[in-house]
Amino acid sequence: MHGIFEWLLVFCIGALGFVLNKYTPLKKIRYSIYAVIFLCAFIFDLNNVSFASDNINALLYLAVLTAMTELVWLCGAQKSKYLLGAALIIFVPLFISIYTTVLVIMPFPCHENKNVIIDKYTCASESYFLKKRPALDVFEPGHVYTLYRSVRRYPVVKKIDKYITPKGYYSAYINPTPQCLSDGVKIDLYVDDSYVLWSLGVGKR
């Protein structure tokens, strides 16, 4: 079943964009909503912020992807090769980048334990957590460690740091060891409890 759900989702997004563009009314209102969604996603990405819930993040990204596909269908309906070409040049790379993020956070049945919280920390009155997932590079398999900080009083988190293990460390035993420093947490990634491969957070290598 691996791969079927991923391509099925792409098909559903493209079909939904086509239906919205061709058959649904209130386009001006919908385009205004799309502008707000794009702005929200842009501000979040610019500040390395996301919702605390992966399900809400997935809904936001899917809304962005659906809006993008509808705009591509709209450009195609104008019967202008230049307009359609420009839309494809702009939106296809964005679509691939955002869809890759969706693959990481959506709970596909074939992707169990792919993006999990492996530890939580409290340091200097701040809450942190560390996530681990497989890297998406099939040529250099590894793991991605991402450190987040919870934003108090708001349902969002801020990405503090990220590290991708190099080639040859996919099966290595890596033990994240925290240190609480005056300005935040530092996570040393120990390999086989013998040496530090990398450090995340404040005072990193």
pLDDT at 1 over 60: no
Contact 119, 110 (CB under 8 A): no
Separation between Cα atoms, residue 104 and residue 108, nearest integer Å: 9
Separation between Cα atoms, residue 96 and residue 142, nearest integer Å: 20
Whether 43 and 91 share a structural domain = yes
pLDDT at 107 over 70: no
**What domain range includes position 79?**
4-105
Give me 8's structure tokens: 């099925």
pLDDT at 10 over 60: yes
Q: What are the pLDDT digits (tens) for 21-76?
A: 888 888 889 999 999 999 999 999 999 999 999 889 999 999 999 999 999 999 98
Whether 11 and 90 share a structural domain = yes
**How many domains are contained in the chain?**
2
Separation between Cα atoms, residue 40 and residue 43, nearest integer Å: 5
Q: What are the pLDDT digits (tens) for 157-174?
A: 999 999 999 988 888 899
Tell me, yes or no, whether 111 lies in a domain.
no
pLDDT at 4 over 90: no
Separation between Cα atoms, residue 103 and residue 3, nearest integer Å: 11
Position 64: which residue type?
A: V
